[in-house]
Amino acid sequence: MKNLYIIKAGSTFETEVERLGDFEEWVQRGLGELTCPVVVVNAEGGELLPEPQVCAGVVVTGSHAMVTDNRPWSVGIERWIRELIGAGVPFLGICYGHQLLGRAAGGEVGYHPLGREVGTVWVELTADGQRDPLFEGIPSPFRAHATHAQCVLQLPPDAIRLAFNDFEPNHAFRVGHSAWGVQFHPEYTREIMEAYVCDEIADLEIAGDDVDTLRESVPETRHAGRVLTNFASFVCRNFSVAVPDRSGDVSTCSSG
């Protein structure tokens, strides 16, 4: 059986790891209970990326790095994403991974012209987004946690824009049939988002943001979290992977 790979592109604040866990753990919890083996590859730490043919699906995490820094491990993931797209491997990039997908497929990534987006935001689906399997069962608009300084400034050619808001026009997009990027964080819980607001207070105050309001307006975002379970279900439908049904029992899927 193929593995579902979580590619670790960074770590959260050292002060929060013991209390909250780290990026790859948040993603794995969000995906749900899979019988497909889940393997974490620490790409930032120098671990080798798997060959596309052994991947049932791939999720690339966020990072505190910037895509435009062009760090060797990051450029390596970017090249590898092109291979995954060519092989038709289901792919989900979150925040940093979203931006890597954008650039790997021919788009443009850079600092957002309006500065940083931090906090719980409303995200709206396009008509294509409302029909897309990644957003199945998710209303429009929905609330999502976000924290990013860079973004996909220009989508890749032929990419399908799936979600946006007044601040960020490219909150989600798809390349081909099975490669998605989401700028928001479906893996974040309320507690995680609150930690990010607290840890970034100095930068937020410099930018003129109302930190108290940000702290007080962090809800749970269960609809955004469904992006991860929807991705797991998509992988299930395309490969021999099992996912829990709504009753909590495990149901096995086959590629047929």
The 10s digit of each residue's pLDDT in 165-208 is 999 999 999 999 999 999 999 999 999 998 888 766 545 444 45
Number of domains within the chain: 1
Q: Percentage of the chain surpassing pLDDT 90?
A: 73
Question: What's residue 242's pLDDT?
Answer: 41
Is 185 considered catalytic here? yes
Per the listing, tokens 């199945």 go with: 136
Q: 0.75 cut: is pTM over it?
A: yes
Question: What's residue 219's pLDDT?
Answer: 80
Measured CA to CA, the distance from residue 67 to residue 48 in angstroms comes to: 19
How deeply is 237 buried, as exposed, middle or buried, from its count of CB atoms within 10 A (0-12, 13-18, 19+)?
A: middle
Domain assignment present for 41: yes
Measured CA to CA, the distance from residue 95 to residue 172 in angstroms comes to: 10
8 Å CB contact between 50 and 5 = yes
Cα dihedral value 172, 173, 178, 184, nearest 10: -20
Is 47 considered catalytic here? no
Measured CA to CA, the distance from residue 199 to residue 240 in angstroms comes to: 41
| Cross-strand pairs, 243 | 251
Distant-in-sequence, close-in-space partners of 209: CB < 8 Å, separation ≥ 6: 118
Is 95 considered catalytic here? yes
Domain assignment present for 34: yes
Domain assignment present for 198: yes
Measured CA to CA, the distance from residue 25 to residue 31 in angstroms comes to: 10
Distant-in-sequence, close-in-space partners of 202: CB < 8 Å, separation ≥ 6: none
Residues in the chain with pLDDT values less than 50: 202, 204-207, 241-256
CATH for 106: 3.40.50.880
Domain assignment present for 256: no
Question: What's residue 214's pLDDT?
Answer: 59
Question: What's residue 15's pLDDT?
Answer: 84
Instruction: State the catalytic residue, choosing from 117, 168, 187, 200.
Output: 187
Domain assignment present for 131: yes
Question: What's residue 240's pLDDT?
Answer: 52
Structural domain range at position 240: 3-250
Instruction: State the catalytic residue, choosing from 36, 55, 95, 236.
Output: 95
Measured CA to CA, the distance from residue 58 to residue 70 in angstroms comes to: 21
User: Could you tell me whether strands 172-175 and 160-164 are parallel, antiparallel, or unpaired per DSSP bridges?
Assistant: antiparallel
| E strand or H helix at 125 | strand 117-125
Question: What's residue 248's pLDDT?
Answer: 41
Question: What's residue 119's pLDDT?
Answer: 87
Cis omega (within 30 of 0) for bond into 141: yes
> Which among 1, 175, 186 is positioned nearest to 91, based on CA atoms?
175
Domain assignment present for 255: no
Measured CA to CA, the distance from residue 185 to residue 213 in angstroms comes to: 20
Cα dihedral value 47, 35, 56, 60, nearest 10: -50
Domain assignment present for 77: yes
Alpha helices in the chain (DSSP H): 14-20, 23-31, 72-87, 96-104, 127-131, 190-199, 201-206, 211-216, 222-238
Domain assignment present for 140: yes
Question: What's residue 212's pLDDT?
Answer: 62
Instruction: State the catalytic residue, choosing from 148, 185, 223, 236.
Output: 185
